[in-house]
Amino acid sequence: MPVTTYVDAIREAMIEEMRRDPRVFLIGEDVGSYGGAFKTSAGMIDEFGPGRVIDTPISEVAIVGAASGAALMGMRPIAEMQFIDFITCAYDMLVNFTATSRYRVGSSCPIVVRGPAGGGTHGGPFHSLNPEAMFMNRPGIKIVAPGTAYDAKGLLKAAIRDDDPVLFIEHKFLYRRIKEDLPSEDYVVPIGKANVRRTGKDITIITWGAMIYVADDAAADLANDGVSAEVIDLRSIIPFDEEAILNSVAKTNRVIILHEAPLTGGAGAEFAARIAEKAFDYLDAPVKRVAALDVPTPYSPPLEAAALPDKARVLAAARELLRY
């Protein structure tokens, strides 16, 4: 099995799905001859041509609108946001039109909106967004956030084949840092199914995206202190694997929810509420959230590092819960 980077896993998924299904096409800014800002579509126009790898003006609402219209006519578009931050320009189209299509008129709208998210690359406040929470409260959109190359490929394939809109959040910090041996045969990762990366009995760390590696590092340090931490990679934010969450909390009785987006109103609040509602009797300590500060992501590398969650904060939270 060849070693594949996270970014190439995304590219492979698009290529394989476009070969498999002539209804699949890619649309976005600079996705054609330039190959995408991060080269996620490098070389694809040579194979599929400008009719299926479509360059657009700088207008995210036009990209999502055109893709949604094509989806309603039977196509399966992949709409790329050059940076996921600018999905906000298409928010109205996504939440008021695309997401509500099945409810309003009974027609599926199988569009995938994907793009680079997250910090750690000194992109500043315009290029570091983690947008999952702003879409969680809008029914009709599924949200996935892979943290591994295997999941990036398998979840993107699943998203393209899904009959409803999917927001595919890919973390740009992982693009060329994460490499894996991927199967040569076709596979999908089911949307809505978490992955238990590490089993444990003393505390649960629930996370997704690039934060799975922060959780892994913290769990390794806790193991040196004799603490057994379970790490759950949700992979899917909506729908999420409630069963995996509740089963883990029932086993460990303590839980940290770790995410890169700011704390207040973040996705972790929903998971904390579900745990409080459905697993309160199992808790031996309050649910603890570890997240970014409630500030725009700084451009300055030291300030960015200070704003984003890290291993030290996870360890401090874990030790606080263990002392409770």
pLDDT at 29: 98
127 in catalytic set: yes
d(CA 49, CA 44): 8
Alpha helices in 106-210 (DSSP H): 132-136, 149-161
Six-digit token string for 4: 């594949």
CB 236 within 8 A of CB 262: no
- Provide long-range contacts, Cβ within 8 A and 24+ apart, for 49-58: 51/25, 52/18, 52/24, 52/25, 52/26, 53/25, 53/26, 54/25, 54/26, 54/27, 54/28, 55/28, 55/29, 55/30, 55/31, 56/27, 56/28, 56/29, 57/29, 58/29
Residue count (the chain): 324
CB 232 within 8 A of CB 244: yes
Six-digit token string for 298: 């700084």
* Global model pTM greater than 0.95: yes
What is the Cα gyration radius of the chain? 19
Sheet holding 142-144, edge to edge: 53-55, 24-28, 76-80, 112-117, 166-171, 142-144, 236-238
Unique residue bearing structure tokens 């959040």: 169
In this structure, the strands spanning 76-80 and 112-117 are parallel
Residues of the chain with pLDDT under 50: none
Q: Which amino acid is at 111?
A: I
Residues facing residue 117 across a β-bridge? 171
For the domain with range 3-181, which CATH number is right: 3.30.43.10, 3.10.20.90, 3.40.50.970, 3.20.20.150?
Answer: 3.40.50.970
Task: Name every residue whose Cβ is closer than 8 Å to that of residue 46 and which is 6 or more positions away in sequence.
Answer: none
Taking only the tens place, the pLDDT of each residue in 114-159 is 999 999 999 999 999 999 999 999 999 999 999 999 999 999 999 9
- Give the distance from CA 276 to its chain's centroid: 24
Taking only the tens place, the pLDDT of each residue in 81-96 is 999 999 999 999 999 9
Residues facing residue 114 across a β-bridge? 80, 168
pLDDT at 317: 98
pLDDT at 1: 59
d(CA 319, CA 168): 34
Closest among 246, 251, 252 to 275, alpha carbons compared:
246
Domain positions in the chain: 3-181, 195-323
| Active-site residue identified among 122, 127, 171, 259 | 127
Residues facing residue 195 across a β-bridge? 233
- CATH class given for the domain over 195-323: alpha beta
pLDDT at 114: 98
